[in-house]
Structure 1
């Protein structure tokens, strides 16, 4: 009588306290979903994003074929930092509010469907952003996005992408203008307006479209600058952003780059830099693209999103 093969162990890095314990509630369903595919979810708890990156790098050095993130885009970013430049693939089980990165990759939020991708998917090589040595997976933003994130983080009862739409509504009541000195692939640009975005994935805020045509593997940063406009017009611009209908709008400048130097205008205070929904730095900062540097586990059918 033959016996079933032993389950294949797969390291899963998580912070069980994240989102006030909401991530912890996804552990048991994930373990059951993994078991359905003869995988054993080996839970590895991290104490910080830096620690998660260190754990991922250690697994990569041991030759693990895949390391799974259970959490939101912040945890994905942290684990990606430890896997960049290695042959270890990043698997993702959603556990955040926005989950924009998996949306771009075509990975479903449903745990069982995502576990099937971990078990049976294919590996895809994508670009990442490098912000003064910090790995960013999705987008880097300055200006209005900072206020939107603050308001989104301040509420607990609103769920999913609605929390970011709430943040947008609050932010435009008292919009903050910024002034930047940008060097985009050697071209000097003086910018005064509401928002400067630098996209790899182009999705943020639970599905809003910073750059609808951004690609994860084109070796380019999509630069999106929302210029200074009157307040009523700003509301219209942000609706266009949420729908991805702003590609040809006169108040928005689009371009591509491989390297961007970002500084506050002369005499101005430093500007906060948001990466993948978290405040990670202040100006001045240097941003560049690291092409084909991260392997991710995606579905067997190529996604049309990214």
Structure 2
């Protein structure tokens, strides 16, 4: 097997490449390893797509070295390719998807990443893009826009950006207009909501367990919609939501709509935006479908 490390040069405070090279020097498999340093947004997906076309029979493992954005691009490039697997060396500002498997610490040993067994997982398909973790909108999109603005301003991710985003959303995004239809059922006939998460993973924003019952290999999309609430109640439920206890808390059942579905249609007003694994996409009408078992994802034991 060939191992190709896809490295975001801004990840790990700019030291990701150095750390990977140092780790490889101690491994027997180093001669089978290559590094590719991404040049711009979208480069990782394009590189993987082209590489796989040129080497259709080669067994390859791509290791995403960065955060959730880098992993998303690697997954998009590798999806649907039987001889290709993906894993993650977490050195970005956010590594939400792998929390479902135990978090960054479990993926921090490069030797174990090379030898980890691969399993088939689902992805969420939105038009010509895949999400490995979540597609969310409403309150969360305002937060994500703030995070991206902070990244553009500083040139790197910032964990405090999520807090800044929450404050901004509390002021501007407590009652959002959108309609969610899960397998034909209209979840919010009034067309309003605080937020909605369409999930394959469980975590978002570094610590918020938004979809605690989601499993990335069960063939289902988890949908969690929260109705509009007051700022006071938002503060009251924040800990419950953060800890992933909101689906079973009796005090939150009047504001939560939870479904499992194969297809989720979303309609919004002009200028409507969603966040696909952290990337802002402006689209007022789209459908998210489950793509079962479309990716080979390696998880260290």
Task: Tell me the TM-score normalised to structure 1 length.
Answer: 0.85
Cα distance in structure 2, aligned partners of 1:132 and 1:80? 15
69-78 or 171-180, which deviates more: 171-180
Inter-partner Cα distance in structure 2 for 1:199 and 1:161: 21
Larger strand share, 1 or 2? 1
Question: Which residue, 162, 183, 189 being the options, matches 1:164?
Answer: 162
Aligned-partner Cα distance in 1 for 2:69–2:157:
17
Alignment of 1:250-269 (within 5 A): 250=253, 251-264=255-268, 268-269=269-270
1:211 is the counterpart of 2:211? yes
Large movers: runs of 4+ above 4 Å: 154-162
Residue in structure 2 matched with residue 184 of structure 1 by the alignment:
182
- Whole-angstrom CA distance in 1 between matches of 2:235 and 2:169: 10
Shift of 1:66: 0.6
Aligned to 2:300: 299
Distance 1:107 1:32 in 2: 22
CA contact (8 A) 1:11 1:42 kept: yes
| Alignment gaps of 5+ in structure 1 | 1-7, 301-306
Q: How does 1:56-135 map to 2 (within 5 A)?
A: 56-61=48-53, 62=55, 63-87=58-82, 88-109=84-105, 113-135=108-130
Are 1:31 and 2:29 an aligned pair?
Answer: no
- The answer as to whether partners of 1:224 and 1:252 remain within 8 angstroms in 2 is yes
Whether the 8 Å CA contact 1:106–1:299 is kept in 2: the answer is: no
Shift of 1:154: 4.4
Question: 1:7-57 CA distances to partner (integer Å, 9 max, x unpaired)?
Answer: x852112232x35xx453121221122232223342212233432112112
CA contact (8 A) 2:224 2:257 kept: yes
Cα deviation for residue 107 of structure 1 reads 5.0
Distance in 1 of aligned mates of 2:174 and 2:156: 24
2-side partners of 1:224 and 1:55: how far apart? Answer: 34
Give the match for residue 283 of structure 1: 284
Deviates more, 1:205-214 or 1:237-246: 237-246
Deviations 1:115-160 (A, max 9, x none): 0222221111100000112011100001101111233344459986
Cα distance in 1 for partners of 2:62, 2:90 equals: 14
Q: Is the 8 A contact 2:92 2:157 kept in 1?
A: no
Task: Give the Cα separation in 2 of the matches to 1:82 and 1:159.
Answer: 23
Unaligned runs of 5+ in 2: none
1:160–1:206 contact (8 Å) kept in structure 2: no
1:97 shift after superposition: 1.0
Question: Which whole-Å deviations, capped at 9, do the CAs of 1:181-212 have from their partners, x for residues lacking one?
Answer: 22211123323121011010021101211111
What secondary structure, in the 3-state scheme, does the structure 2 residue paired with 1:218 have? coil
Deviation, structure 1 residue 76: 0.7
TM-score by length of 2: 0.86
- Matched with 1:303 is none
Q: Is the 8 A contact 1:105 1:298 kept in 2?
A: yes
